[in-house]
Every structure is written in structure tokens, then in C-alpha cells.
Amino acid sequence: MAVNIKTNDKTQKPLFEEIDFIGYDKAIILNKPKLLEMINAAGNEVSLSALREKIFTLRGQLSTIKTDREGLLNIGINGDTIQINQKYLFGELKQIVEAQTLDRSKYYLHRLAKAVAEQKTNKINDLNLNRWKEYDDILTDSLWVLDKRDSSGVHKADYWGNFIPQIPNQMMKRYTKKGEWVLDTFAGCGTTLIEAQRLGRNCVGIELQPNVVKTANDLIWSELNRFNTTNEVIKADSANIDYEKLLQKYRQNSVQLLIMHPPYFDIIKFSDDPRDLSNAKTVNDFLAMMGQIVRKASAVLDKGRYFALVIGDKYSKGEWIPLGFLTMQEVLKCGFTLKSIIVKNFEETLGKRNQKDLWRYRALVGGFYIFKHEYIFLFKRK
Ligand SMILES: C[S@@+](CC[C@H](N)C(=O)[O-])C[C@H]1O[C@@H](n2cnc3c(N)ncnc32)[C@H](O)[C@@H]1O
């Protein structure tokens, strides 16, 4: 299909064929100086048609190795390279040729040259903000409707109460750099640590139940550790562990991201251990235990860095208990700024599966709505 360009000239043909992006949405490695040379050469043109011609040539060169006469796809052993998303790059080229004036076209060209030449990152992640359009996978809205759990590799759905891997994945991509350290105080079967290992982050997890600790470590260690990071779940009580001492084991003084996915009070009983937060006697006891864990763990979180709390509400004796917001208030007493409240959907849990009709009936009788969401509260340490 061809693109219709808004123009007064009715005879003008479409300039750029719409690319069927299927198969193009992948990273390609290019010869960076060559790419810049071609972009800059187009930028030196004095007419719009000559500039467009140069961009057509560039796109032709990029399409297949056979048409690559300039050596764009030809990477020397010590050559300077750039890894770039092909869909993003083609989208930028399309915008350049579709611009209606030479100035506008040059403006887009200049922006592309900058994105290729310069790395603009901030202190808390590795995202190159000059190429922000490439990050289709990074969520920025406060409503997350994720239809499928990532079940790749060793990720398993069978630990009752684990979260979907996309949660720690999103958090680490946005709030950590490669090689940094993450702390998960309720590690469960190690979802955060598996993701951390894949993303090149180090992660220490704490979990109370010895059998769960073993399962988590077996899973983590059975996956390829491409970036040679440290990822380990320790058996301990998050409320009473000495966090400084724990980190010393890894020659660290602090972590750069804190993730907590506690029991949602007593919705799922994880064990008989009285230290287990799912065995708290009352909501207030639960909140006091959470407060203690947040205070202790946040002492090893670097200032200005993020804390993601994943939690849902509960329903008890005919009343909706806003556990999420109550816990959020506890955290706000511990020196944090609230940055976002993300609402995330969930489909039926293992517990509620096969009970859909029963819950719908209960909801209709009881005048309430069935939980289909949980929260990710995002805080920044002051
Ligand atoms: C909601 S699950 C976390 C699941 C985890 N995010 C995953 O994906 O596997 C909560 C976990 O916290 C653990 N837990 C409860 N109280 C704890 C405590 N005081 N210290 C450490 N772990 C605790 C439970 O055993 C349970 O595995």
C-alpha cells in the first residue's frame, strides 16, 4: 500500500512506499560512521528532491545485504557500530522524505543524526532518550492491561501468588542500569531474579520458606547467565535481616531498586510461619510488619532511586479493604515521594479458576465488584 502525502500537487506520486513492518521490528547492527556519513550527505543537499533521492538510496542500501553497496551492513572487526531498531530507523527516514519543505526535512535529518551520534541517558537507566521512539516495549501509561504472562524460559505460573515477569522487567528497564543491584524482599519463586539475570542486573531476594528458596535458586541457576550477574535468593525474614550485612556478602553497600510483592495480607496463606505476613493477625499488624520491612530495606536504597510495591486490595466481611492504599500510606511515612500508581489487570488466579460463576453470583448477591486489578505503587527515595 502506498502512502498518501498531503500535497496541493494532485499529480504528485507517493514518495515512500509503506513498509510492511512485519519482520522489520528488530534490532540491526550498522556501520555507524557510514550511516552518519550518508545522513550528513543528505543534509548537505540544497533541494528537497535531491535530499529525498539520498534518503531513498540510504533506505535501499539498508533493505538487504545485496543492495548494501556502501558497506552499511558491513561491520569491520574494530569498526564503530550502532545497534538500532529497523522499524524505528525506517520510520524516521519516511518522515524525512515526507516532509513538505527542505527546512523541515533537514530538521528531521538533524534529529536522526543526533540520535545516531549521541547517547542521551539519565542517571537511573540505560534508555537513550535521543532514540526514545524505539522503546515500544516500555510502558508509560498508568493502566496496564497485559493479556498474557511471559512464560518463556524457566518462568513458571505454578507458584501460587507469583507476579507476572513483565512487572519486574518493566521496573528494571526503567529504573536501573545494567550491572546495578536490585533487592526483592519477598522473592517467592524468583521471578524478579530471573528477569534481573536476563537483563544484566544483579539481584538479591529474600524469602521465608526454605523449599521456595530452593526452587527459586534452582530456576535462576538453570537459566543462562549471559551477563555474568549475581542473582541469589536468601532464606530469611525480611523484617529482621541485617540488610547492610547481607549486601556486604556481595561487596555492596546499597541497591538501586527495591521491589516488594508482599502477601496481600491473608488472601493466600503462604506458610504456617508466624513471621510470614500472610499470618498477620489483623490488617493493622500487617501494616506494622510492612512498615518495619520498608524502613529497614529502604535504608540500603540509594537516595533518588525507586521502590516498586506490588499489592492488591482485599474483601472481608462485606467490606472492601483498601490494603493497597493503606500500605502506600505506611511507605509514605518512611521518606518516599509517590511517583505513580499503576493499575494492572489480572485474570483469574489459580485459586479463583473454576469458580468464575460462583464469584459472579456472590458479587451480584453481595453488591460488590470482583477484583480484576492490583496496584504497582512507585516511590522515589528522598
Ligand atoms: C506474593 S508472594 C511473592 C511472589 C514473587 N513475586 C514471585 O513472583 O514469585 C509473597 C512471598 O513472601 C514470602 N514472605 C512472607 N512473609 C515473609 C517475610 N517476613 N520474609 C520473607 N518472605 C516472606 C512468602 O513466603 C511468599 O513467597
* pLDDT at residue 2, rounded to an integer: 37
* pLDDT at residue 151, rounded to an integer: 84
**Minimum CA distance residue for ligand 1 atom 3:** 188
* pLDDT at residue 75, rounded to an integer: 67
Dist. CA 168 → ligand 1 center (Å): 15
* pLDDT at residue 65, rounded to an integer: 62
C-alpha to C-alpha distance for 303 and 283, rounded to whole angstroms:
29
Q: Which residues of the chain have pLDDT under 70?
A: 1-25, 64-68, 70, 74-79, 348-353
In tens, the pLDDT along 223-256 reads 999 999 999 999 999 999 999 999 999 999 999 9
Ligand 1 contacts CB of residue 296 (under 6 A): no
| Domain chopping of the chain, boundaries | 27-134, 143-381
In the three-class reduction of DSSP (H, G, I as helix; E, B as strand; rest coil), residue 129 is classed as: helix
Residue from 318, 327, 340 nearest 286 by CA: 327
In the three-class reduction of DSSP (H, G, I as helix; E, B as strand; rest coil), residue 342 is classed as: strand
* pLDDT at residue 50, rounded to an integer: 95
CB count, 10 Å around CB of 19? 18
**Minimum CA distance residue for ligand 1 atom 8:** 162
In the three-class reduction of DSSP (H, G, I as helix; E, B as strand; rest coil), residue 375 is classed as: strand
The DSSP output letter for 17 is B
In the three-class reduction of DSSP (H, G, I as helix; E, B as strand; rest coil), residue 41 is classed as: helix
Dist. CA 263 → ligand 1 center (Å): 6
Nearest atom, ligand 1, residue 289 CA: 19
Nearest atom, ligand 1, residue 187 CA: 5
* pLDDT at residue 66, rounded to an integer: 66
CATH 3.40.50.150 fits 143-381, yes or no: yes
* pLDDT at residue 351, rounded to an integer: 57
Ligand 1 contacts CB of residue 307 (under 6 A): no
Dist. CA 312 → ligand 1 center (Å): 14
Tell me the best of 186, 265, 271 to mutate to test the pocket of ligand 1, counting ligand atoms within 8 Å of each CB and taking the most: 186
* pLDDT at residue 12, rounded to an integer: 46
Nearest atom, ligand 1, residue 238 CA: 20
CA 342, 346, 350, 353 torsion-angle sign: positive
C-alpha cell at 188: 517467592
Ligand 1 contacts CB of residue 237 (under 6 A): yes
Ligand 1 contacts CB of residue 292 (under 6 A): no
Ligand 1 contacts CB of residue 263 (under 6 A): yes
Q: What is the mean pLDDT of the chain?
A: 89
Backbone angles phi, psi at 330, to 5 degrees: -60, -45
* pLDDT at residue 286, rounded to an integer: 98
| Beta-carbon-side half-sphere exposure of residue 91 (alpha carbons within 13 Å) | 14
Which residues lie below 8 Å from residue 70, measured CB to CB, with a gap of 6+? 34, 38, 61
* pLDDT at residue 258, rounded to an integer: 98
Ligand 1 contacts CB of residue 183 (under 6 A): no
* pLDDT at residue 80, rounded to an integer: 82
Ligand 1 contacts CB of residue 32 (under 6 A): no
